[in-house]
Amino acid sequence: MSIEIKTTSVEPIRHTYSHTARRFGDKPATRYQEASYDLEAKTNFHYRPQWDANYELNDERRTAIRMEDWYAVSDPRQFYYGAYVGNRAKMQEQAETSYGFCDKRNLLTRLPEETQKLLLRLMVPLRHVELGANMNNSKIAGDATATTVAQMHIYQAMDRLGIGQYLSRIALMLDGSTGAALDESKGYWMGDQLWQPMRKLVEDSLVVQDWFELTLLQNVLIDGMMFPLVYHKMDEWLESQGAEDVSMLTEFMRDWYKDTLRWTNAMMKAVAGESEANVAQLQQWIDHWEPQVYNALKPLAEASVGVEALDEARAELSTRLKKVGLQSQGVSA
Amino acid sequence: MAVKNKKLNLKDKYQYLTRDMAWEPTYQKMEDIYPDERFEGIKIVDWSQWEDPFRLTMDAYWKYQAEKEKKLYAIFDAFAQNNGHQNISDARYVNALKLFLSGVSPLEHAAFQGYSKVGRQFSGAGARVACQMQAIDELRHSQTQQHAMSHYNKHFNGLHDAPHMHDRVWFLSVPKSFFDDARSAGPFEFLTAISFSFEYVLTNLLFVPFMSGAAYNGDMATVTFGFSAQSDEARHMTLGLEVIKFILEQHEDNVPIVQRWIDKWFWRGFRLLSLVSMMMDYMLPNKVMSWSEAWEVYYEQNGGALFKDLERYGIRPPKYQDVANDAKHHLSHQLWTTFYQYSQATNFHTWIPEKEEMDWMSEKYPETFDKYYRPRYEYLAKEAAAGRRFYNNTLPQLCQVCQVPTLFTEMGAPTKLSHRQLVHEGERYHFCSEACCDIFKHEPEKYVQAWLPVHQIYQGNCEGADVETVVQKYYHINIGEDNFEYLGSPDHKHWMSIKGEKPADENQDAA
Amino acid sequence: MSQLVFIVFQDNDNARYLAEAVMEDNPHAELQHQPAMIRIQAEKRLVINRETMEEKLGRDWDVQEMLIDVISIGGNVDEDDDHFILEWK
């Protein structure tokens, strides 16, 4: 008798939360679903923000993009916090091994002076671009409403801080941790003609108000040309300069970029797929920004691997955008 | 040429790896990049004076946080697989979790949004990075709480639609408006409100004794997420203290602004925590520490040390702390007797404390419990035993600022209801206290906007005019499952069957 | 008026080493056991030394490892490679 009672007492009375069940049905939900859907406040806000009284808190009108349901944008990687840090912890462990190895064997300081200089002038200043990306993604995480969208951007923000830190460590290895190499590299960022169009672009991105325009600019357009150019094409070029060991130190960035393509592509597909109006708005932003991104990266390409490589990167981006019905310059492969 | 690199110390390494990535912009103006930094009147002369509250680079962050998460989820899995809900002290305990999930967890999410925002608003890179790290931590807390409660939700009522309820249910506007207030303020006030007044001064009261209480009541899942979340909180608290010291050191004009914020946010936080006082004293069947004891340790003692430290900046303790200190003898009892009357409109159950519990309260509250509160429970128990379990059908008057019903009494006069009112631009506003009235007077344009749940019901904005329709349709509180008296509730019956006992008769069991 | 600093650890294996090290280096501290946690308070100042911890553990120990087991703190924090200090000045 009491055994029967015990059995019924472990029968669940429901399988998941009501807000999860409304989307996915009352069946056991994944951790991603329970952690990512409909958690944010949606209505009955008490006070208008003093920093932006035109809109309410969690106001969907902070972007010109319209979605019937912003949760149509979700993460193919299904990263909730625990899954995210678990994944990055593994990546950092590998990176740590490479950095440790490089440091111990003095692989960078053994490079010719010329090559060391190239790294400080052409690669390390990208840490500042990463800080800009960090700021932009933090803004987006604060403005986006749906948790699925907001969380991808805070992960992205923290990732960019991490990448900036890895790039900085390259310089710290070169200068014996005095900071001199970082100062030198920052000097290029501030004054070298090669970096000025890029620095202007980053500063311009910091005043973009519409958060979806910003994610398009930062995570799709800038990254979409910069990562293939720097971490693939320049990487091969550095190898030809006898600096193949540097490749070990940028493995994290390559793995990371491959990983982010999954969600940025999914996000673009969902948003462009929603309506003609969205496509028109996205196209307008692309027309405005894409040439600027190209021009910002051009001096870097010219000083290293050559403009053809940038054209290839541009074409790669164009192919990605074409898949979701958007046009950009550059010859599609 | 190849010099062996010397190992960086934490502080130098951290400077190189965070702030040094920032630069002085020349293509855009500072005030366009950081438009929200000035309007509050806080003067920052030199951001380079910012002391990083902790020095965690992302690689270390990923590593340590992943380790914490691994431990945490191992316990969640074990808890669910072994039906850990059967091992708690008593199902009444779960009601504290219902309040937690609908009242606190949504705040974790709001904190994630708020810190993401301030993580962009400051022009000091050190402060931004510290805020961003807190943003992602708060996301963590919001999500691990969903996961920790997920198993309970499968076996108990009242946990099933927390975010929806948080936006609508009358008493949940207390936490909601608290965080909306902070998020709608400028970045410096947000940090003073949340990082300093809430995280540093007050959250210990929620997370430390309450979570220890969860452990004492056999709730492995909750104590694990609670303490695991608190391990992030140690960083957040340090941020709270550093930010206050930084603002105060930057300019003397900042002192009166910060003092007013501390006065306001101490009080807002104290009112919010009145919900926690009843969780601790009434909703933990096995009791660890009374609210009054927790208040003494975590506010009077620790807060006292803190404010003594801040004296050198010209900061005094919060204006109404004497009222709060006096209230420790009454708070939980006044809250519980109120919620007892309004259980028809809550997602958790209430009950009359059992005899041993009342004796414990007599011991912990020697000057107040027997004198003022025990007689009420004895009366209510008698009524319930006679088949007249009391529910109050008159909607309560809510305070315009804290949104708690005006249920508190005056300091030193426990039978005198505390109430203030004020006419502002032809409208009359009601307050629970002098402190809330003060807060209103300083920013009436903000507090007139408040979405007061009771007003909204009367104005017909909640899908119905009668309480039953509002509760069911608008709040999504399942009538007869989530609400009303604990004794005889489906949760109670379910628990009895878990324990292999016959469901008790609610009338006989009331005392 | 007395000015106490405090630190609270989860009651687990790591914390036992931490508590032991803290009590050894801070003879004026008071240790309290509460369900699932260990609370240590002291007048004005508490220090955790890396050296003591390494002695207890018999391995290298990074001060930041402590973050995994700490529940709460009270006092100004001063942290570097060799120690973690809580104090009211």
Contact in structure between B120 and A157 (CB atoms under 8 Å): no
**Beta-strand pair C37-43/C4-10:** antiparallel
Q: Total structural domains in chain B?
A: 1
Phi and psi, residue B463, nearest 5°: 60, 20
Tokens 């096995």 map to which residue?
Answer: B286
Whether B26 maps to a domain, the answer reads no
Residue in B68, B212, B309 nearest the CB of C89? B309
Whether B136 maps to a domain, the answer reads yes
pLDDT at residue A323, as a whole number = 97
**Smallest Cα–Cα separation from A214: which of B443, B33, C57?**
B33
Cβ–Cβ below 8 Å for B184 and A57: yes
Contact in structure between C82 and C49 (CB atoms under 8 Å): yes
- Chain A (17-56) residues lying within 8 Å, Cβ to Cβ, of chain B: 17-19, 29, 31, 34-36, 38-51
pTM: 0.96
Cβ–Cβ below 8 Å for C36 and B212: yes
CA distance A202 to A136: 10
Q: What is the ipTM of this complex?
A: 0.96
Contact in structure between B420 and B433 (CB atoms under 8 Å): yes
Fold topology of A78-323: Ribonucleotide Reductase, subunit A (1.10.620)
Q: Judge whether B186 is closer than 8 Å to chain A, CB to CB.
A: yes
Residues A165-180 have a mean pLDDT of 93
Per-residue pLDDT of chain B (511 residues; tens, 9 = 90+): 344 445 567 788 798 999 999 999 999 999 999 999 999 999 999 999 998 888 899 999 999 999 999 999 999 999 999 999 999 999 999 999 999 999 999 999 999 999 999 999 999 999 999 999 999 999 999 999 999 999 999 999 999 999 999 999 999 999 999 999 999 999 999 999 999 999 988 888 888 888 889 999 999 888 888 888 888 988 899 999 999 999 999 999 999 999 999 999 999 999 999 999 999 999 999 998 999 999 999 999 999 999 999 999 999 999 999 999 999 999 999 999 999 999 999 999 999 999 999 999 999 999 999 999 999 999 999 999 999 999 999 999 999 999 999 999 999 999 999 999 999 999 999 999 999 999 999 999 999 999 999 999 999 999 998 999 999 999 999 999 999 999 999 999 999 999 998 765 544 443 3
Whether B33 maps to a domain, the answer reads no
Q: How far is CA B26 from CA A19, A196, B22, B119, in A?
A: 48, 10, 12, 22
Torsion, Cα of B302, B306, B309, B314 (10° steps): -140
A333 to chain B nearest CA, in Å?
35
Whether B443 maps to a domain, the answer reads yes
Q: Judge whether B89 is closer than 8 Å to chain C, CB to CB.
A: no
Q: How far is CA B178 from CA A38, B139, B167, B462, in A?
A: 20, 18, 12, 21
Whether B348 maps to a domain, the answer reads yes
CA distance B129 to A165: 12
Whether B40 maps to a domain, the answer reads no
B contacts of C4 (beta carbons < 8 Å): 301-302, 305
Q: Judge whether B462 is closer than 8 Å to chain C, CB to CB.
A: no
Cβ–Cβ below 8 Å for C71 and B233: yes
Q: Judge whether C77 is closer than 8 Å to chain B, CB to CB.
A: yes
Q: Judge whether B227 is closer than 8 Å to chain C, CB to CB.
A: yes
B321 to chain C nearest CA, in Å?
17
Chains contacting C with at least 3 CB pairs below 8 Å?
B
Residues A210-238 have a mean pLDDT of 98
CA distance B261 to B237: 17
Whether B220 maps to a domain, the answer reads yes
**Beta-strand pair C37-43/C83-87:** unpaired
Q: How far is CA A142 from CA A149, A220, B185, B209, B250, in A?
A: 10, 19, 14, 32, 27
Expressed as residue numbers, the domain containing B428 is 50-503
Report residue B345 as tokens.
């409109």
Secondary structure E strands in B399-452: 409-410, 413-417, 420-424, 427-431
Whether B248 maps to a domain, the answer reads yes
CATH number for position B54: 1.10.620.20
Q: How far is CA B251 from CA A150, B31, B60, B309, B316, in A?
A: 35, 19, 34, 18, 17
CA distance B396 to A275: 47
CA distance A134 to B133: 12
Reported residue count of chain B is: 511
Q: Judge whether C88 is closer than 8 Å to chain B, CB to CB.
A: yes
B302 to chain C nearest CA, in Å?
7
pLDDT at residue B96, as a whole number = 97
**Best interface-test mutation with C: which of B14, B56, B231 has the largest number of C CBs within 10 A?**
B231
**Angle between helices B355-364 and B374-385 in degrees, nearest 10:** 170
Assign C78 to helix, strand or coil. Answer: strand
Q: Judge whether B78 is closer than 8 Å to chain C, CB to CB.
A: no
B308 to chain C nearest CA, in Å?
8
Report residue B181 as tokens.
């207030």
Q: What is the CA radius of gyration of chain A?
A: 23
Cβ–Cβ below 8 Å for A36 and B67: no
Non-local (6+) Cβ contacts of B177 within 8 A are A46, A47, B402, B403, B450, B451
A contacts of B86 (beta carbons < 8 Å): 9-10
B418 to chain A nearest CA, in Å?
24
Q: Judge whether C57 is closer than 8 Å to chain B, CB to CB.
A: no
CA distance C51 to B477: 56
